Structure 1
Amino acid sequence: MPRRSGGRRARRAERAAPLAEAIKPVRPGHTGGRYKPLSEAGVAAIVDNAFRILSEVGFADATPHCIETCTAAGAVLGEDGRLRMPGSLVERTLEQARRNLVLHGQDPRNDLDLSGARVHFATAGAAVMVADTEENLYRDSMAQDLYDMARIVDTCEHIHMFQRTCVPRDIPDNYEMDLNTLYCAVMGTSKHVGSSWTLPGHVEKSFEMLHLIAGGEAEWRARPFVSQSNCFVVPPMKFA
């Protein structure tokens, strides 16, 4: 009986081939919330203490502009210089927060629907050093590292967004660093990018770059593929 040619080879190729999108068991935006390691009472205790800390402890080292903006909204500046957030202010802010939005990618296939309890994964951080496995040492992170990390994320199926991972310390000027941070990220991946800027004035030139990449200002406004990330609070409860 003649042997069938290519049967085993075809089966191996089929097993090695990536799954079609329609039958993948894990995809971006699966509904979360099923894993509940804490009891409802435990969750409530954490929430209550968060509200208590914001209203009783507050934040130190707020800038004049921050104080003016927050007190106008209902925050309280104490004699000790700490800016406190009453529970009513926090609740009102949470109610006004945007929900059911889409974070666009340069490639529409990488759009992230944030409605409901959908779950996505992203990188994060602003590392200033890199573990160099070839030289077996820690060194300053560089622009090339940032670009390389973005390229890696672009090929990682289960990382859905690239939040800039490191600071290009080989660019000492803050203006040039902000522009090159953005450039390395958006050139490295077609997924949604999160970045930050040292000063507001640096954003204007960044928009010029983004408009060029998107094909025009109207195209950018229709599908903005970069978010600004702000985290100005650091331990122990003070502004950076």
Structure 2
Amino acid sequence: MPSEGVRRSGRQARHAQRAAKPVVDPCPPGQSGGAFKPLTPSEIDQIYDTALRLLETLGMGNVPDRLAADLRAAGALPGTQDRLLFPPAMVERAIATAAKTFTFHGRDAGRSIDVGGDRVYFGTGGAAVQTLDIDSGLYRPSTLTDLHDFTRLQDTLANVSWFTRCCVATDVPDVSDLDINTVYALVRNTTKPVATSFTLAEHVAPIVEMLDIVAGGPGEFAKRPFLKAHISPVISPLRYGEDAVDVVYECVAHNIPMSCITAAQAGATAPATMAGFLAQSLAETLASLVMVNTIKPGFPMVFSNWPFIVDLRTGSFAGGSGETAILNAASAQITNWLGLPSGVAASMTDAKAIDAQYGAEKGITSLAAALAGANLIYESSGMTASLLGASFEAFVLDNEMHSHTYRALRGIEVSEENLGFDAICQSVLGDGHFLGSAHTYAAMERDYFYPELADRQEPRTWQIEGAKDAWSSARQAAKEVLETHHPRYLTAEQDAEIRKRFRILS
């Protein structure tokens, strides 16, 4: 029998092992999705056929002259009211030639992600104009400093696989300054894949000059683009937006991958019925795909069909609703059926506080999108208040939530070892329990995720340690990161060159 000292030493070693990072991450990003299929094959066929009929019969309105010429050359036909009609063969040719996968590069190659197939990644989006202040717990206008701080914070979060600017710097009124300083905040504070929006097409080329400085010289960014554009070239219902189309042309010219986002609203800019909504929004996102692949076949584009729900009683956005959960899951399923890189928006809670509503809405919508196999799940980290707000505490809580989701996606591995026949026999005939067995220890490290923020203590210990809620724990964690993580991802020479050529405000 081992001595008490030996047993105590073993217990201390086990505690140290539990406190350390697992040798094998039980739930890394990029797990396979697609098990949840809210639509039957027949229903997908009906929605797709209706989308093709809409493009063939109604087509697209407000087509800018340059795009109209390109589309007509590719087979578009004239319709009523100066609309252009897309024959089904034209649409299906675009689907066939479209990029099915592509690498979304990080400046750090180890942070790049492969988009497409059945891989699921959580990231950000949004254009919040308010920040939930980490000290007061109240909302205030978002600032450029907030954007830098959000970027620094998420740089430490493993489950935010790419970072799109999550808030608008409302203290930068000039749109050129805003676009330039937004991108500067991204490249200064993270080496993950990043994304932004361009207010005007003429802002693209100057920003690419900045990205070339970061990448190592003229033309270097285009060889391995680490920034993606978020563009909404289609305005529901079924018409193009000229400024956004101009941005598309510029992004193609500079080899900037893009997410072409359709953001129809059920009952407002699209049918209130879910099937009708899916048919129209699919047609609109296909119109973006036709446009991109007419300009340059095979250009990297995320098919970003984002169903948005409004409360039809009040007109308020309902981003945390069950309807949002099922429609985004269905959108991902349809896009995956087409074989295209899919993007949806989920975890868009309508809650203002970090409370029960927040947790319920984020959990149900993000899990549904992941189980359906959405490749990129936007808005999934940090967003609150129906996308009007962004929160530091939300970022760290959502990061932990995504680990649980990835663990669910990983599923159950059935093998002779995992079935545990011998381990069951040994425990039944031996100690009568599984505590401390080698089989249990192996599973503990390999198969289970242990959260850092979620409280699993018994009530008395929780009370003794301050009875903290999730908001308080997340605030403390976020503050620790913001106080200690000050990355320098630009060299002094790069920063000086950027500041010499651009008006940097921070």
In the aligned structure 1, how far is the partner of 2:137 from the partner of 2:237? 33
User: Shift in Å at residue 30 of structure 1?
Assistant: 2.6
- 155-164 vs 65-74, which moves further: 65-74
Match for residue 82 of structure 1? 83
In the aligned structure 2, how far is the partner of 1:32 from the partner of 1:124? 21
Whether 1:11 aligns to 2:9 is no
> Are 2:55 and 2:86, in contact at CA under 8 Å, matched by a contact in 1?
yes
Whether 1:45 aligns to 2:46 is yes
> Are 2:58 and 2:79, in contact at CA under 8 Å, matched by a contact in 1?
no
Query: CA offsets per residue over residues 19-61 of structure 1, 9 Å max, x none?
Result: 23xx223223333322222211122222222222222233333
Provide the aligned length of Structure 1 versus Structure 2: 238
Match for residue 429 of structure 2? none
Unaligned runs of 5+ in 1: none
In the aligned structure 1, how far is the partner of 2:137 from the partner of 2:61? 40
User: Shift in Å at residue 136 of structure 1?
Assistant: 5.7
User: Shift in Å at residue 135 of structure 1?
Assistant: 4.9
Distance verdict in 2 for CA 1:132–1:50, change over 3 Å: farther
Alignment of 1:153-192 (within 5 A): 153-192=154-193
Distance verdict in 2 for CA 1:103–1:198, change over 3 Å: same
- 11-20 vs 104-113, which moves further: 11-20
Larger radius of gyration: 2
User: Shift in Å at residue 89 of structure 1?
Assistant: 1.7
Unaligned runs of 5+ in 2: 242-506
In the aligned structure 1, how far is the partner of 2:138 from the partner of 2:235? 28
> Are 1:179 and 1:206, in contact at CA under 8 Å, matched by a contact in 2?
yes
Match for residue 472 of structure 2? none
- 48-57 vs 204-213, which moves further: 48-57
Q: TM-score, normalised by structure 2?
A: 0.43
> Are 1:67 and 1:77, in contact at CA under 8 Å, matched by a contact in 2?
no
User: Shift in Å at residue 99 of structure 1?
Assistant: 2.6
User: Shift in Å at residue 17 of structure 1?
Assistant: 1.7
> Are 2:208 and 2:221, in contact at CA under 8 Å, matched by a contact in 1?
no
CA-atom RMSD in angstroms: 2.5
- 217-226 vs 199-208, which moves further: 217-226
Distance verdict in 2 for CA 1:137–1:73, change over 3 Å: farther
In the aligned structure 2, how far is the partner of 1:218 from the partner of 1:238? 34
Match for residue 73 of structure 1? 74
Query: CA offsets per residue over residues 82-127 of structure 1, 9 Å max, x none?
Result: 3332222211111111233211101111111225332222212233
In the aligned structure 2, how far is the partner of 1:10 from the partner of 1:123? 39
In the aligned structure 1, how far is the partner of 2:144 from the partner of 2:151? 11
Match for residue 34 of structure 2? 33
Match for residue 120 of structure 2? 119
In the aligned structure 2, how far is the partner of 1:77 from the partner of 1:127? 39
> Are 1:28 and 1:112, in contact at CA under 8 Å, matched by a contact in 2?
no
Match for residue 109 of structure 1? 110
> Are 1:33 and 1:117, in contact at CA under 8 Å, matched by a contact in 2?
yes
Amino acid at match of 2:15: R
> Are 1:124 and 1:165, in contact at CA under 8 Å, matched by a contact in 2?
yes
Distance verdict in 2 for CA 1:131–1:237, change over 3 Å: farther
| Consecutive aligned runs of 4 or more in structure 1 exceeding 6 Å deviation | none
In the aligned structure 2, how far is the partner of 1:208 from the partner of 1:182? 11
Structure showing the higher helix proportion among its residues: 2
SS, match of residue 228 in structure 2: strand
User: Shift in Å at residue 138 of structure 1?
Assistant: 4.5
In the aligned structure 1, how far is the partner of 2:48 from the partner of 2:182? 36
User: Shift in Å at residue 192 of structure 1?
Assistant: 0.5
Amino acid at match of 1:182: V
SS, match of residue 171 in structure 2: coil
In the aligned structure 2, how far is the partner of 1:138 from the partner of 1:49? 43
